[in-house]
Amino acid sequence: MQHTARSQAAPAPRTGVWLVGARGSVATTAVAGAAALAAGLAAPTGCVTESPDFADAGLTPFAGLVFGGHDVVATPLVERAAALVRDGVLPAGLAEAVRPALEAAEREVRDGSASAGEPQYTTARRLAADITAFRERHGLDRVVVVNVSSTEPLPAPDPAFLSLPELDKALAASGTLLPASSLYAYAAFHAGCAFVNFTPSTGAALPALEELAHLRGVPHAGRDGKTGETLVKSALAPMFTQRALRLRSWSGTNLLGGGDGATLADPAAARSKTESKQRSLEDTVGHPVEGHVHIDNVPEMGEWKTAWDHISFEGFLGVRMSLQFTWQGCDSALAAPLVLDLVRLAALAHTRGESGALPALGFFFKDPAASTEHNLTLQYGTLTRWAAGAPVREAAEQPAREVAR
């Protein structure tokens, strides 16, 4: 077959993965997992892009991924991996086997802290320089910057967010304007890198940053990886619409331990997360629905999370019925393979010359950029057609609501 022939002829691409939050659980699991997959020590369970639907897309092989990143905490990846073994996320033998890969990534982690009082523009230049140096040091075809750091509060609106010249001007002054996730996006774009925001933080979701991405010709994807309750929601909510059953209420409680639980206990950060959860539901069913979403910090749960959702709906002649589900998952094990998927797909988009938000990657996100489609099956169809090289024009033919956000 033609595609296969070509991919055999060309050398496999080598892609850098620059992790913001490089010493966290998700990053550590991603580094360990990529090494295990490259070495054939584990099956690619949970890796969407290993499905036959992506076989001809020319994605970077796992062995072609090189890891580095920024962090502000000092615990090295090897120690984090040991904690993940204790918590049942990494098998003990595997963590030992991939130790060299963890150490290699550790050597490529740089301090992501801002110096006191320096303008954010200065910080961004330093961050971009770290990324560029990493790319050159390893002779990489390209680098994808992925935000897997802790969730931030949403910033207050600011006119400088709306235009790139205004933003540049504001960043040159002292003071903190951009949240860290957005400053990393700014730095990534300046370094000519694709950017993926796996968290509910702001990231690249500002008009000025969209402008910069187009200017630099780099793509970005986000935001808020769909790894649990919202994943199930996006599979279940269309059922009610398709069956003409009227949703009365949808209530959810999420019990989280680990770093994510602690961060989201900060009400401002939690609001950014719960807002994106509710938005996707109402987008899907087309009307407001009663109910609340809670995110509780329960430290003893460690890396594990449990979500309970209660859905009340009305059927024929007004009869009331209900559906409940309980999801018990391991956050890092759910997120890490998606991080690898997103790196491979963002690198593909970059290779193809796409820039700005990538609506075709909405499948992975609670709050997908440039798309309001939340039906998981329709998202999967869009993703696989895009990966197979369907013309850009087709994406432009999406329903108006997809781009009107």
Report the residue number, 84 or 370, with the smaller CB distance to a second copy.
84
Q: How far is the CB of 50 from a second copy (least distance, A)?
A: 6
Report the residue number, 160 or 293, with the smaller CB distance to a second copy.
293
Q: Distance between alpha carbon 167 and the CA centroid of its chain, in Å? A: 24
Structure tokens at 164: 């790139």
Contact flags string 364-403 toward a second copy, x per CB under 8 A: -----------xxxx-x-----------------------
The region, left, alpha or beta by phi > 0 then psi within -120 to 50, assigned to residue 88 is: left
Q: Distance between alpha carbon 274 and the CA centroid of its chain, in Å? A: 16
Q: Is 268 exposed, middle or buried (0-12, 13-18, 19+ CB in 10 A)?
A: exposed
CA dist., res. 30 & res. 84, Å (int): 12
3-state secondary structure of 313: strand
The correct pick among 17, 19, 20, 36 for binding a second copy (CB under 8 A) is 36
Q: Is 122 exposed, middle or buried (0-12, 13-18, 19+ CB in 10 A)?
A: middle
What DSSP line would sit under 228-259, residue for residue? SHHHHHHHHHHHHHHTTPEEEEEEEEEEE-HH
Q: Phi and psi at residue 195, in whole multiples of 5°?
A: -135, 135
Q: Is the peptide bond before 223 cis (omega within 30 degrees of 0)?
A: yes
Q: How far is the CB of 387 from a second copy (least distance, A)?
A: 13
CA dist., res. 301 & res. 299, Å (int): 5
Q: How far is the CB of 347 from a second copy (least distance, A)?
A: 19
The correct pick among 38, 46, 72, 262 for binding a second copy (CB under 8 A) is 46
Report the residue number, 120 or 254, with the smaller CB distance to a second copy.
254
Q: Which of residues 294-313 bind a second copy (CB under 8 A)?
A: 294, 296, 298-301, 306, 308, 310, 312
Report the residue number, 141 or 282, with the smaller CB distance to a second copy.
282
Q: Which of residues 328-357 bind a second copy (CB under 8 A)?
A: 328-330, 333-334, 336-337
Contact flags string 241-280 toward a second copy, x per CB under 8 A: -xxxxx-xx-x-x-x-------------------------
Q: How far is the CB of 337 from a second copy (least distance, A)?
A: 5
Report the residue number, 32 or 218, with the smaller CB distance to a second copy.
32
Q: Distance between alpha carbon 222 and the CA centroid of its chain, in Å? A: 6
The correct pick among 39, 79, 83, 91 for binding a second copy (CB under 8 A) is 91
Q: Which of residues 92-111 bind a second copy (CB under 8 A)?
A: 92, 94
Report the residue number, 143 or 339, with the smaller CB distance to a second copy.
339
Q: How far is the CB of 71 from a second copy (least distance, A)?
A: 21
